[in-house]
Structure 1
């Protein structure tokens, strides 16, 4: 299993005219399906009156097979969403969404022409897209004193971890996530800060 993968670091817009039709391809970071829906709503408001708003997304790792989807939005079946998704899958980029907006120019392109047109802007965009690395994080549970809490929170942030929850009783129970590569260094810092009283391990 891969421990990291590339995701979009910014949005990108590519605009083309193909046989009098205007194609606007928008690539963006898409960590879940809600972001896909919201972005599609926003693009419909920004580009009103278009003939079609086709989309594809991979809401997870590049080889994700569950949280993926596509839509032809009225174009002939398989002529838009599927080739768009195939272009995303071939890019080896995760958490990525694409919306292609078409303003029909009067000339029919045929299924083959549509497949090429709907994937054209995505292929161009992927080669220009700014990317960053996402590290897969794993859960950890840690019990510490109130006095140690600030130091532990600082260490989690320092190692690019994410705190999920905190429960307060006579002690503090912290649930957080950390990348595998960060664990050894995290424990070294934790031992130094707590005089060796605390160490952590993954709960999976």
Structure 2
């Protein structure tokens, strides 16, 4: 079973593996800009903690956890996840300014023209070599599989004549019911 698209709740993984112990979970993580999956975490027993790791890099993919100055973060220290390798896209179609921000030259590559994709996701390396997803470094949210830029919604609402100021957020009145 391969759950992907949203963070895998530990309780969901636990319930699956208790009900179907012969069918392991492959927790997949990856942005569309990088041919989708860039990590896999193989789970054959229920997770011991409340967080399910997103795993290790898939073939032909290099992952970097970098600080704000693009320096590698030590083991266990949170930073932003950057992706390199053959699966990284070349940019956004007809959007060169957004491409320049998200697809940057790869300072760790030996081949010219190599790119890093800046995911905007906050992660940390775990002692076993897998990654722990900690959330976003910006105000982008993912709701029912869709990426939503809360700032863009706020900017649009501020243009309405009757609106003086606005804050947009995701709320969860009951577990699993984000809106």
The two structures share one fold, judged by TM-score above 0.5: no
Q: Which has the larger radius of gyration?
A: 1
Give the TM-score, by structure 1 length: 0.23
Structure with greater helix percent: 1
